[in-house]
Amino acid sequence: MKMQQVSDNCFAVLNEKNRVCDANSGLINLGGGVVIDTQSDLPHARGMIALFSRVWPGMPKRVINTHEDGDHVWGNQLFAGAEIIAHSSVPERMKRVADPEETRHLLASVRNPLTCEKIAAVRPGVVAAGRQLAEDYDLTGVELVLPTTVFDTHHDLDLNGMHVHLRHVGPCHQCGDTIVHVPKERVVFAGDVLFRRCTPMGWTGSYAKWFACLDLLIDLKPDAIVPGHGPVCGVEGVIEMKAYLQYVLEQSRRCFEDGLSVLDAAKRIDFGPYGDWKAPARLYMNVERAYREFRGEPPDAPWDTPATFDAIYALANAKGVPVEF
CB of 195 to Zn ion, least distance (A): 8
Please say whether the dihedral angle defined by the alpha carbons of residues 306, 312, 318 and 323, taken in this order, is positive or negative: negative
- Choose the binding region for Zn ion from 25-33, 124-132, 221-229, 238-246 (rule: CB under 5 A): 221-229
CB-wise, 39 or 252, nearer to Zn ion? 39
CB-wise, 24 or 251, nearer to Zn ion? 24
The residue type of 230 is G
Give residue 37's region: left, alpha or beta (phi > 0; psi -120 to 50).
left
What CA–CA distances, in Å, run from 114 to 5, 105, 134, 281, 295? 45, 14, 16, 28, 41
Give residue 223's region: left, alpha or beta (phi > 0; psi -120 to 50).
alpha
What CA–CA distances, in Å, run from 239 to 166, 196, 244? 22, 11, 9
Give residue 289's region: left, alpha or beta (phi > 0; psi -120 to 50).
alpha
In contact, 300 and 204? CB cutoff 8 Å: yes
Q: Which of residues 225-284 bind Zn ion (CB under 5 A)?
A: 228
CB of 160 to Zn ion, least distance (A): 30
Q: How many whole angstroms separate alpha carbon 169 and alpha carbon 205?
A: 10
What is the widest separation between alpha-carbon atoms in the chain?
Answer: 59
CB-wise, 23 or 172, nearer to Zn ion? 23
- Choose the binding region for Zn ion from 110-118, 222-230, 235-243, 269-277 (rule: CB under 5 A): 222-230
71 binding Zn ion? (CB under 5 A): yes
CB of 229 to Zn ion, least distance (A): 6
CB-wise, 41 or 192, nearer to Zn ion? 192
CB-wise, 73 or 290, nearer to Zn ion? 73
User: Which residue in the set 13, 23, 30, 201 belongs to the binding site for Zn ion (CB under 5 A)?
Assistant: 23
User: Residues touching Zn ion: how many (CB under 5 A)?
Assistant: 4
37 binding Zn ion? (CB under 5 A): no
Binding mask 188-217 toward Zn ion (x if CB under 5 A, else -) reads ----x-------------------------
Q: Which of residues 138-197 bind Zn ion (CB under 5 A)?
A: 192
CB of 21 to Zn ion, least distance (A): 7
CB-wise, 202 or 280, nearer to Zn ion? 202
CB-wise, 147 or 269, nearer to Zn ion? 147
User: Can you list the positions of beta strands (E) in the chain?
Assistant: 2-5, 10-14, 25-28, 34-36, 62-64, 83-87, 149-151, 154-159, 162-168, 178-182, 187-195, 224-229
Residues that bind Zn ion in the complex, under the rule CB under 5 A: 23, 71, 192, 228
